């Protein structure tokens, strides 16, 4: 029992025996919650929600965008997408940036602003069967989402 109390006091930040753990910045633990904690569960739930929003954004671009050539990529202007997607979520720009980071869509520039960048073309990189497979995989991995 004493050994268990000693282990707990070393982990308790309010204990006089607390010693912060040295973590290497290259470690996989760095910047991550402890496994099995509520914080880890919340982080996983948030990541699943963000992924679902990115897939929804791709679906909207696929539904409302147009192809210039029959075999070309689907494209839509930022102004048109903003007008449509703002009814779904108020996080249009953040979701676009995240989807670009995950190579689902592409556009020029670092940031998009309403009105100023309404003419910027957004190109869908993940479409058709790839998009449907990603949606199915997300649904299977997150049944409550």
pLDDT > 80? residue 65: yes
Position 129 in a domain? yes
The per-residue pLDDT for 76 is 96
Q: Is the pTM of this model over 0.85?
A: no
Position 86 in a domain? yes
Band of pLDDT at residue 26, cut at 50, 70 and 90? confident
Mean pLDDT across 107-122? 93
The total of structural domains in the chain comes to: 1
C-alpha distances out from residue 48 to 13, 29, 87, 107, Å: 30, 20, 21, 24
What is the number of H-type helices and E-type strands within the chain? 5, 4
Position 5 in a domain? no
Asked if 33 and 43 touch (Cβ cutoff 8 Å), the reply is yes
Full residue range of the structural domain in which residue 101 is found: 38-141
Position 46 in a domain? yes
Position 84 in a domain? yes
Position 23 in a domain? no
The per-residue pLDDT for 80 is 95
Phi/psi for 22 (5° steps) reads -80, 125
Position 135 in a domain? yes
Looking at residue 68, which CATH number applies to its domain?
1.10.10.1540
The per-residue pLDDT for 1 is 45
Position 108 in a domain? yes
Give 67-97 pLDDT, tens digit per residue: 988 888 999 999 999 999 888 888 899 999 9
Q: Average pLDDT of the chain?
A: 84
């Amino acid at each position: 029992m004493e050994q268990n109390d000693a282990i707990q006091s070393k982990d308790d930040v309010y204990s006089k025996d607390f010693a912060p753990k040295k973590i290497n910045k290259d470690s996989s633990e760095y910047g991550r919650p402890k496994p099995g904690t509520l914080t880890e569960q919340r982080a996983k739930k948030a990541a699943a929600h963000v992924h679902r929003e990115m897939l929804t954004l791709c679906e909207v671009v696929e539904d409302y965008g147009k192809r210039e050539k029959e075999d070309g990529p689907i494209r839509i202007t930022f102004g048109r997408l903003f007008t449509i997607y703002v009814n779904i979520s108020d996080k249009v720009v953040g979701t676009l940036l995240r989807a670009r980071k995950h190579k689902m869509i592409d556009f020029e520039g670092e940031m998009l602003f309403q009105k100023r960048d309404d003419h910027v073309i957004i190109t869908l990189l993940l479409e058709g069967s790839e998009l449907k497979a990603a949606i199915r995989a997300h649904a299977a991995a997150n049944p409550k989402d």
